[in-house]
Structure formats: C-alpha cells, structure tokens
C-alpha cells in the first residue's frame, strides 16, 4: 500500500473509505505451532469429495463458468425449500452485500446498521457513495433494534442486521426481529446477514428464512465460507423476493462465481451431514472456551457464531500482541475488544492459557 497521491483523478470520496484489514497469518514462534484464529475461518480442511469436485472442475478452467449458477441454485433451492427465483449468488456474501447496496442506494442515501459489526459494512457503503448510519450495540454487545428503528429516515434505503453479530457474538431473537420488521416501512430493504447461522444453538434465535417468506422486504444473506469451509473459493448467496433476486443478479460481476466454487458448493451440500457434524464439534469447543473464559472472570457476551469476544477496551491491541508472542493470531479491534475464532482444539486451549495469563499478569 502506498500513501502517494494518484497521478490521475479518482473519486474524492475514496479518501474517506477505510481499508479492509485481513486477519494476520500465523507468525512463527520458536518451539510452538502457531495458529490463526483471526478470520473466523473453519479449521477443518476440505472433505475429499469436495477436493475431488474442485479438481474435476479445474479441468475446464479454460472455459467461463455457468453464469446462471444453475446447478448450484437448484441444489440450494431444494436444500432451503425456496423457489430458485428467490436465490442470487455472488463472489462471497460480501459481494452480494455490495450488490444489495448497489440495487438499493443512490448517492447520499442512508444504510443503517449496528456498530460494532462486520467491518466490511462501512467500506461497501462508502464505496457506493451512500452514507453509513451506525447504531451502537447495547451494553450486552447486542443489536439495539429499537434504536435502529428510530435511526431510519426517509433517506434510509437499506438496514443490515448481522446475526450472530460479527465480532461480538450475540444473535437476534425471533421476537426481536419480528417486532423490528413490524415497525419499519414495508418497502425498506432489510438484510439479515446470517453468515454464521449454522453455528447458532439458542432456541430463541430468529428464523430469517421463514420470516423472509412473510416479509417481502427481507433478504437473507448466507455464505459457504464459514460452516461449509469454502472461504478461499468465495461463494455466498441471498434469499430474497424474486424481484429483488433478479435485481441482484443484474448487479453481479459477470462470471464472478467460478466453476470451482460452484462444484465445491454442490459437493458440500451433498456432504452436509459430515460438514454439520464438524460444526457441532466447533460449537462444543465454543461452549468449552466461553465457559472457561467466564470461569476465569472474563465478561464474554453470548457467542452464537464460531468466535467469541473479549471486551478489552484499550487493552485489545496489547492482548493481541501477547497472544501473538504465544503463537496465536487473534483479531484486535483497537480500543474495543478482541475477537477469537474457535479453531483447532490446541488453538482453543492456547487461547484459554493466554487469557488466564493475561489476567494473572495484567488484570
């Protein structure tokens, strides 16, 4: 990255667009295995059937992929019990989100979302020329949906509800989501970002797919990156009203979803039982880690994704540094907290050790 001025005219608003900060790769530390638990990735490698599908598809990379993503869309429609017309895919759900902003917002329109939440939101919104309206999370690091409803103006064109919320962890309840939707204008697009939905276990968690069938303004955003372990292939999708899905397909990068990604996703759906058993294992680890941290005295908010949140405030960066020295890459959000992905058992054990040591030496 360079701070040099560009030799050509670029949009003046670019200066205000934050850069996405990816999780750091594991830094080698002598004598220990390093682990990356900074990007909410799935620690399991792809299943052999998925690797096989990718290598079969690799034989044809001289050809463009199926732009209609037909076979995968059909498989998803069966799996989710929704008509194919209601599905739109994209190059990761972050790209589908950018498509949503593109179809909903004119310059200076407003996008309401909670903060702190997924760091791509302000970037995608700013790049489009729309404006972010960030509504603070409540004291339990949960969405304050009443305050979000109040933040809606006649310039609001999109609301994003992230559940479970990245990076803090809590999920919105069915009751909360329905009450919110009953309050907001029925022609306002509400995106429910469910990137981590497969990891939710609380009974009260909203069922946005069912809700989307009742509220035509609701779009459910999902991804193959987390529970299905295909982060590197970049594939996500939206379930939306058929007219919204059609608009989303128009806004997609042509041929953006590769053939490798399409076939890997189809193979993943076929092997879903195995993949969901892995998710269950990770959820078990999450419960173990969260219980261990709370026992140590940490105030960990409800964790419904594949990660947990340590509200360290100004100590976020020093904690991440201390973890890195022990071969553990976590994700600090300066002045706020640290997000730790649930990873391999040894990585989770290390996190518990690092957290205990932090309290012993700094607490």
Span of 43-51, 91-99, 124-132, 280-288 interacting with ligand PMP by CB under 6 A: 91-99
Is residue 169 part of the contact set for ligand PMP (CB under 6 A)? no
Q: What is the secondary structure of 75-87 as a DSSP string?
A: HHHHHHT--GGGE
Q: Which is nearer to ligand PMP, 148 or 322 (CB)?
A: 148
Q: Which is nearer to ligand PMP, 260 or 322 (CB)?
A: 260
Q: Which is nearer to ligand PMP, 118 or 358 (CB)?
A: 118
Q: Which is nearer to ligand PMP, 156 or 166 (CB)?
A: 166
Is residue 118 part of the contact set for ligand PMP (CB under 6 A)? yes
Q: How far is Cα 36 from Cα 96, in angstroms, rounded to an integer?
A: 26
Cβ contact 130:157 at 8 Å: yes
At 356, list the tokens: 């205990």
| Distance in Å, CB of 341 to ligand PMP, minimum | 10
Binding mask 121-150 for ligand PMP (x = CB under 6 A): ------------------------------
Backbone angles phi, psi at 329, to 5 degrees: -90, 110
Span of 68-76, 87-95, 103-111, 314-322 interacting with ligand PMP by CB under 6 A: 87-95
Among residues 87, 111, 195, 342, the one that binds ligand PMP under rule CB under 6 A: 195
Q: How far is Cα 197 from Cα 199, in angstroms, rounded to an integer?
A: 5
Is residue 304 part of the contact set for ligand PMP (CB under 6 A)? no
Q: Which are the contacts of 176, defined by CB distance < 8 A and separation ≥ 6?
A: 143, 145, 206
User: Strand, helix or coil at 32?
Assistant: strand
Binding mask 11-40 for ligand PMP (x = CB under 6 A): -----------------------------x
* Residue nearest to ligand PMP as judged by C-beta position: 92
Q: How far is Cα 312 from Cα 300, in angstroms, rounded to an integer?
A: 10
Identify the CA nearest to 192 among candidates 164, 150, 213, 214. 164
Binding mask 203-232 for ligand PMP (x = CB under 6 A): --------------------x-x-----x-
Q: In what order do the strands lie in the sheet with 236-239?
A: 87-90, 236-239, 218-223, 189-193, 156-162, 110-115, 131-136
Is residue 92 part of the contact set for ligand PMP (CB under 6 A)? yes
Q: Which is nearer to ligand PMP, 229 or 327 (CB)?
A: 229
Cβ contact 211:241 at 8 Å: no
| Distance in Å, CB of 39 to ligand PMP, minimum | 7
Q: How far is Cα 136 from Cα 15, in angstroms, rounded to an integer?
A: 24
Among residues 236, 292, 332, 337, the one that binds ligand PMP under rule CB under 6 A: 236
User: Strand, helix or coil at 93?
Assistant: helix
Cβ contact 301:281 at 8 Å: no
For residues 51-70, which are near ligand PMP according to CB under 6 A? none
Cβ contact 192:208 at 8 Å: yes
Q: Which is nearer to ligand PMP, 259 or 315 (CB)?
A: 259
- The H-or-E segment that residue 110 falls in is strand 110-115
Q: Which is nearer to ligand PMP, 123 or 231 (CB)?
A: 231
The bridge status of strand 189-193 relative to strand 218-223 is parallel
For residues 323-352, which are near ligand PMP according to CB under 6 A? none
Which residues contact ligand PMP by CB under 6 A?
Answer: 40, 92-94, 118, 162, 166, 193, 195, 223, 225, 231, 236
């Amino acid at each position: 990255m360079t701070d040099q001025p560009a030799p050509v005219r670029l949009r003046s608003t670019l200066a205000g667009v934050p850069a996405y900060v990816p999780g750091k790769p594991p830094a080698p530390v002598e004598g220990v295995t390093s682990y990356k638990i900074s990007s909410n990735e799935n620690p399991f490698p792809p299943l052999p059937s998925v690797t096989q599908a990718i290598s079969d598809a690799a034989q044809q990379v001289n050809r463009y992929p199926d732009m209609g993503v037909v076979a995968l869309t059909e498989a998803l429609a069966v799996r989710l019990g929704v008509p194919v017309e209601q599905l739109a895919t994209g190059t990761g759900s972050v790209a589908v989100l950018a498509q949503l902003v593109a179809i909903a917002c004119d310059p200076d329109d407003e996008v309401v979302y909670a903060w702190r939440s997924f760091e791509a939101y302000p970037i995608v919104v700013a790049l489009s020329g729309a404006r972010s309206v960030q509504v603070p999370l409540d004291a339990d690091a949960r969405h304050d949906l009443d305050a979000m409803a109040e933040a809606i103006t006649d310039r609001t064109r999109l609301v994003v509800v992230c559940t479970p919320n990245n990076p803090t962890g809590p999920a919105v309840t069915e009751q909360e989501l329905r009450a919110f939707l009953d309050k907001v204008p029925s022609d306002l697009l509400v995106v429910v970002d469910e990137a981590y939905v497969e990891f939710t276990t609380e009974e009260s968690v909203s069922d946005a797919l069912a809700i989307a069938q009742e509220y035509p303004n609701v779009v459910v955003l999902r991804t193959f990156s987390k529970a299905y372990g295909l982060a590197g292939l970049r594939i996500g999708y939206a379930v939306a009203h058929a007219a919204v899905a059609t608009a989303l397909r128009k806004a997609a990068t042509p041929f953006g979803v590769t053939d490798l990604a399409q076939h890997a996703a189809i193979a993943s759906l076929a092997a879903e039982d195995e993949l969901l058993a892995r998710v269950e294992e990770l959820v078990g680890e999450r419960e173990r880690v969260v219980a261990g941290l709370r026992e140590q005295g940490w105030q960990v908010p409800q964790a419904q994704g594949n990660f947990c949140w340590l509200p360290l405030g100004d100590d976020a960066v020093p904690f991440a540094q201390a973890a890195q020295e022990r071969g553990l890459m976590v994700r600090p959000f300066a002045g706020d907290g640290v997000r730790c992905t649930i990873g391999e058992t040894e990585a989770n054990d290390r996190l518990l050790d690092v957290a205990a040591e932090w309290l012993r030496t700094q607490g």
